[in-house]
Structure 1
Amino acid sequence: MNKSADVCDLIINRKLDILAITEAWLKGDGETTQSLPTSPKALSDYDIHQLPRIGQRGGGICVILHKGYDFTSVTHTFDTFECLELSISSSQRDALQLFVLYRPGSTSPSKLFFEEFSGLLESATLASGELVITGDFNIHMDDLDCQSMKLMSDILYSAGLKQHVTEPTHIRGHTLDLLITRDPQDSVSSVSVKRDLPSDHYAVMCDILLSRPPATKRVIKSRQLRAIDSGVFREGVVGSLSNNNLDGVSEKVQSFNSNLSNLLDKHAPLTTHCLKEALVTPLLKKPSLGVDDFKNFRPVSNLPLLGKVIERAAINQLQSYIKDNDLHTKNQSAYRQFHSVETALLRVTNDLLGAVDDHGEAVLDIIDNHGLASISYADDTQLYVVIKPSNRASALAKLEKCIEDILPPPGIRVENKKRRQKLLTQRSASSVE
């Protein structure tokens, strides 16, 4: 398969999870399989599932599938076309029945083809879950006067199916590659045709309503080659050659590769890199705090440069999404662009002054005034009340007094029941951990 690099680029650039290929020219031997873009250097997160044409040139079907999906495959045997079935799922809630077909275009569609295809549809439409049938049918579905097109349309209509491709999929201007689903069905959308591939057929692209698999964790290993002492390494290589007393060429090459690998492991061993590995430096939260208590320190992580760049790119996308969809809470100041502790204090001050100007009542209560121990984290926007089991009763009483100073009874009270503390109001309740 001399177009494997283009297939690899298509998968990476379009971030495809499933790619079905007809006329893959696979023979089922190891040599042709290795030519496909499934090596660790190309697409380490993908596997290939194939239906080769044994003993003949041309033909063959393969499906390149993301490793995160669960699947079962079934090979169907027909006289007039090739068919590979995959049952694909990413969770217990959704599943996709994918049928990939290839009918050779060297002959016109025969009566036997339509009989075999109708028989396949009878069993396929009875299966539960989403159904997608695709492939190269070599039928001119764009030619309204074509008898094969009319017969194909009647078969799909009687089976309750719909064909979604409306553009030419061949360089000669005909629609030969089809995408078929149940009718109606909203599992397939955004159907388009990609024409810039080095093939006489175009690629049919679509979005399928199927949960994407979780991202796979990738371990990166490398060697510090620049740290190798070239003189010492050269002596090791020469020594391994001088001690080689083997006669055969293959034995000599294997021995040399083994010795060279051992030398590399000795002088530049493989090291595993992780983007989240960090050098943690403890810094005092305030200069006045004691250095003997670990709680007075704030851990500062120094991440690798690449990890920081990726995090920055991810946070920019996340902030844009939250802002565009108005997902921030009304009074949120933390982790929000152009907001900080200063904006939070400005909001509190404005509310107090506004209440006074309107001749209303304004109360500002500080929890420390009631003798409750508390811990603040991050940028001091999260406050946790510390309640030890030994003095639970007194701590709850102090918390209740603090709340009553803000909202006098009977508006709110603290109830201790089954080791859970609840703040109860006349209309609603919210828990305090």
Structure 2
Amino acid sequence: MRGQVLHHRELRGVVPRAALDVEGALAVVRPICDDVRARGVAAVVEATERFDGVRLTDLRVPVAALQEALEALDPTVRAALEESVRRARLVHADQRRTSSTVRLAPGGTVTERWVPVERVGLYVPGGLAVYPSSVVMNVVPAQEAGVEQIAVTSPAQKDFGGLPHPTILAACALLGVDEVYAVGGAQAVAMFAYGARDADGALVVPGVDIVTGPGNIYVAAAKRLLKGVIGIDSEAGPTEIGILADDSAVPSEVAADLISQAEHDPMAGAVLVTPSVALAEAVQAELVVQVAATKHRDRVATALAGPQSALVLVDDLEAGMEVVDAYAAEHLEIHTVDARERATRVRNAGAVFVGRWAPVSLGDYCAGSNHVLPTGGCACFSSGLSVQTFLRGVHVVDYDEQALAGVAHHVVALADAEDLPAHGQAVRARFPDGLPA
């Protein structure tokens, strides 16, 4: 990109990006979701057998299985999860909103109340990796928001008797969530959107108000399809990391951080933006060595070689700032001599990690921040999962006669201007002797 001058919007069109065809996936998920809506439990069972190779006898995981998973959990892993939960609670508790009242006139107030949704469905992926951390990141903000009913779903696993991975079950038990389903994919999103009844008409899975959590392209497509039936957090696609770095960066650490996100998925994005040719070359050399030594080398190599990953050379760090803002990374690391100052200037990112001691891995588990973040450039207009995701602002309008009298003529004037006379009449009816002067 050296030497090119592009408008901010143009930059968005040329930065590396995974080729995701959510629209194409809609054709696959639509009949699945329609089937779940029509046939409920039977459709969910059939879809699970088709896609996961598991024939479910019960959609819901027995509470005893949750407790057994927690009791069998490696103490080291349990301690790590407990610390992750503790830190996440501290951060998310501070996000709680309080009601506020504005007095606009004597006897006239507007109060904004923050009300949690009643019931949420939280999706925890299965597949290439196990994500108990995603249980924490979904459940904690919902609990801190005051949501009364929290249900979790995660794909059934053949290797675990048709239940979700035991570490996921243990995380649910640790957080006190006992409504857990062994269902994944588009059928899980549809199950939460429409609810699911059995052949006798009994409601086995009540519908929810909002579905959150990351998943594969089919989960993202189902969320897009059903948005409006349910609320959603975002259409989260493959993970991505952007790194803005100068010559002060440590090449081995930059390479390690790129690999850490590339191991999630062959479609994961890893992008280094730097004005330093020397750093870019050193990172490339490190990648050759480190990729060969990592456990999931094939997956990582595929991700790093894809069109969604790149080493981007820019004229200077200011040009680099423009590029990373256009990229709008899910995770943005800043490895520069002035990292803290630059972090305050970032406009578009799901989360920003400042300096060499704040790798994305920290945010994935124990920073206290949330790792359910917008991907695919959506950080230009979306935020990560938070307490606010599960709250609704409700305005309560409380005016007495005097307060309405003081503004009645304005209401009527605007109603007449919009040719909606009945609106004005609704106010006139309250003052049969004429509008107050």
Q: Report the TM range for the smaller structure's normalisation.
A: under 0.3
The structure richer in helix per residue is 2
The structure richer in strand per residue is 1
